[in-house]
């Protein structure tokens, strides 16, 4: 065994411990050190996983969808390695691995579910070709980082091209759906799609459809109650929304010509309806926002792909164990019942056979997972930090809503009615947010006219206030002192629910401010 199999984990863990003492939280610095001293650490460690690697990328929804996939697989019995704090670049993944590997370099997991930034995914797949690749969407987001939107699609195409098992694509996004062309289907790579019922497409326009605002229709639908979509069950509401929705940028034979493995048919108040294999499944959900229900469809599609492979890989071992019983029913792996029959395989002996083959009983159990079981696990997933996360401050619920591009902001505004709540918007322009804030002018804020915005803060507070003034949205206070503004905002109007829309670094600073006055879960970042 090579020296670095032992030395790298030891050095990496030491650097990680020192970094946490110095910075008090998560850091990519240990990953940087390990990448330099042992460039093969990432690929060597992830190669241990019997079910391989799931890569999740795209503009919107990466963190939440990664959390959903990992949570669902864990609930179905697998041991999952993931990068839960949004350290979505190779160095961050390496740092996360250092927390999980033993000193001998052993990673005790069955599968990895990793969120990767669109640009860093290109570097990751050169080292670790993923077994599964889930690509969500392409939207205008931080164009000062990636350039034109087609360049972002090209970055994601590298991930699809490198995938060795199954590529799962959003059929409603034409740039994503077209990536099926680069998947190596001639080598056995499978392409699956997740999609929307036609009645829901107006809520999730592609980037090319952003010229028409759908926020008002979403608010009207929520006020009327009932499900959105699934027109056979909801009457006039879905028809009105569909009529007002922008025309899809797909050709007439576009999305529906692609068979979706999982289709989101309808959404309601914390409920979702999915169509899978010709059957309809409805479930309650704990996630907030209609966009997260579409993320659930994406997560279900990739979990189903993993389960299908697990069935092909592991269920034959059950047959092999059964066949190991000889014609008389006597075998080292059998025991007799009270009548002298040899028809039961001794569990300990069976487990030993599985271990020798590198198969754990939990993998066998996962291979038996039903679609209903997958739906049930999707309903239990809770929001990722800052993505619809609710923090209680002195008995008042404060909901953090990450926004980073026009589509994400539009869908958040459409999902959360401002009536009966206080609203705050925090905008920063650090590197992780994107320096160019001109995208704020592509968001329609008119739904906030009636209630106004209590506070605007962050580095670009005055830019945001100007944008709201243009849409005739009243603003009570504007300040670039984010911590002071957040504390004042949550302490005012005690008992009134609060919504805070914030860019990424503003969200981290908001959580840090709230952590001083309330119980906030440690996400390992932003400290």
For residue range 104-135, what is the model confidence (pLDDT) as tens digits? 889 999 999 999 988 889 999 999 999 999 99
Active-site residue, 436 included: yes
Question: What is the pTM assigned to this prediction?
Answer: 0.80
Burial class of residue 23 in the structure, from the number of CB atoms within 10 Å of its CB (0-12 exposed, 13-18 middle, 19+ buried): exposed
CB 488 within 8 A of CB 393: no
Can you give the residue ranges of every domain in the chain?
4-305, 319-376, 387-515
CA angle 319–322–325, rounded 5-degree value:
145
Instruction: Decide the pairing of beta strands 228-229 and 262-268.
Output: antiparallel
Joined tokens for residue 34 = 């390990």
Q: Choose between 428 and 7: higher pLDDT.
A: 428
| Block residue for tokens 């619809």 | 388
pLDDT at 420 over 90: yes
Pick the catalytic residue from 108, 144, 256, 436: 436
End-to-end alpha carbon distance in the chain: 38
Joined tokens for residue 122 = 């290109």
**Chain CA centroid to CA 40, Å:** 27
Joined tokens for residue 396 = 């008042």
How many residues are recorded in the chain?
A: 527
Across 247-321, where does the E strand assignment appear?
262-268, 271-276, 279-284
Residues 6 or more apart in contact with residue 50 via CB below 8 angstroms: 110, 111, 313, 358, 359, 363
pLDDT, one tens digit per residue, over 207-220 is 666 544 434 434 44
Rounded to whole angstroms, the Cα distance separating 497 from 516 reads 19
Pick the CATH number of 4-305 from 2.60.40.10, 3.40.1190.10, 1.20.58.2050, 3.30.360.10: 3.40.1190.10
pLDDT at 238 over 70: no
Residue 131: predicted pLDDT:
98
Q: Choose between 359 and 245: higher pLDDT.
A: 359
pLDDT band at 11 (very low <50, low <70, confident <90, very high): confident
Residues facing residue 132 across a β-bridge: 54, 166
The class that CATH gives domain 387-515 is alpha beta
Dihedral (Cα; 48, 54, 58, 63), 10-degree rounding: -90
**In terms of DSSP H, where are the helices of 24-146?**
29-37, 41-46, 62-75, 90-100, 118-127, 143-146
CB 289 within 8 A of CB 416: yes
Which run of H or E residues covers position 304? helix 290-323
């Amino acid at each position: 065994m090579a020296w670095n199999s032992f030395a790298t984990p030891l050095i990496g863990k030491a650097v990680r411990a020192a970094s946490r003492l110095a910075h008090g939280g998560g850091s990519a610095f240990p990953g940087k050190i390990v990448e330099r001293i042992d460039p093969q650490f990432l690929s060597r460690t992830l190669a241990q996983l019997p079910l391989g690697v799931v890569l999740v990328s795209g503009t919107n929804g990466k963190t939440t969808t990664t959390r959903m996939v990992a949570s669902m697989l864990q609930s179905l019995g697998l041991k999952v390695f993931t990068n839960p704090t949004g350290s979505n670049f190779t160095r961050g993944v390496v740092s996360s691995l250092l927390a999980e590997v033993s000193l001998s370099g052993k990673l005790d997991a069955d599968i990895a579910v990793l969120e990767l930034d669109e640009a860093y995914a290109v570097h990751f797949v050169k080292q670790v070709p993923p077994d599964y690749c889930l690509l969500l969407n392409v939207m205008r987001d931080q164009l000062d980082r990636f350039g034109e939107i087609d360049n972002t699609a090209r970055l994601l195409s590298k991930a699809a091209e490198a995938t060795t098992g199954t590529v799962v694509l959003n059929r409603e996004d034409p740039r994503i759906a077209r990536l099926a062309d680069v998947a190596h289907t001639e080598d056995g790579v499978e392409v699956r799609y997740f999609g929307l019922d036609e009645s829901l497409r107006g809520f999730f326009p592609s980037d090319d459809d952003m010229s028409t605002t759908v926020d008002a229709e979403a608010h009207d639908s929520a006020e009327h109650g009932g499900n959105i979509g699934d027109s056979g069950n909801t009457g006039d509401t879905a028809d009105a929304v569909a009529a007002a929705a922008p025309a899809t940028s797909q050709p007439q034979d576009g999305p529906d010509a692609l068979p979706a493995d999982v289709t989101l048919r309808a959404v309601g108040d914390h409920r979702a309806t999915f169509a899978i294999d010709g059957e309809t499944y409805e479930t309650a959900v704990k996630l907030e926002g209609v966009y997260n229900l579409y993320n659930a469809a994406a997560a279900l599609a990739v979990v189903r792909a993993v389960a299908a492979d697990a069935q092909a890989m592991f269920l034959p071992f059950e047959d092999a164990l059964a066949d190991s019983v000889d014609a008389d029913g006597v075998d080292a792996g059998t025991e007799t019942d009270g009548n002298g029959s040899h028809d039961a395989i001794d569990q300990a002996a069976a487990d030993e056979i599985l271990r020798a083959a590198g198969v754990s009983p939990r993998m066998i159990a996962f291979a038996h997972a039903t679609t209903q079981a997958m739906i049930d696990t999707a309903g239990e997933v809770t929001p990722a930090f800052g993505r619809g996360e609710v923090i209680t401050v002195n008995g008042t619920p404060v909901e953090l809503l990450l926004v980073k591009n026009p589509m994400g902001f539009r869908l958040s505004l459409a999902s959360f009615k401002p009536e009966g709540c206080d609203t705050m918007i925090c905008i920063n322009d650090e590197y992780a947010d994107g320096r160019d804030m001109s995208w704020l002018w592509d968001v329609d804020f008119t739904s906030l006219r009636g209630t106004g915005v209590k506070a605007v803060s962050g580095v670009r507070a005055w830019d945001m206030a100007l944008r709201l003034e243009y849409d005739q949205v009243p603003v009570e206070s504007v300040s670039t002192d984010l911590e002071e503004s957040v504390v004042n905002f949550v302490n005012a109007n005690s008992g009134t629910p609060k919504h805070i829309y914030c860019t990424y670094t503003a969200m981290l600073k908001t959580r840090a401010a709230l952590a001083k006055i309330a119980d906030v879960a440690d996400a390992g970042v932003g400290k």
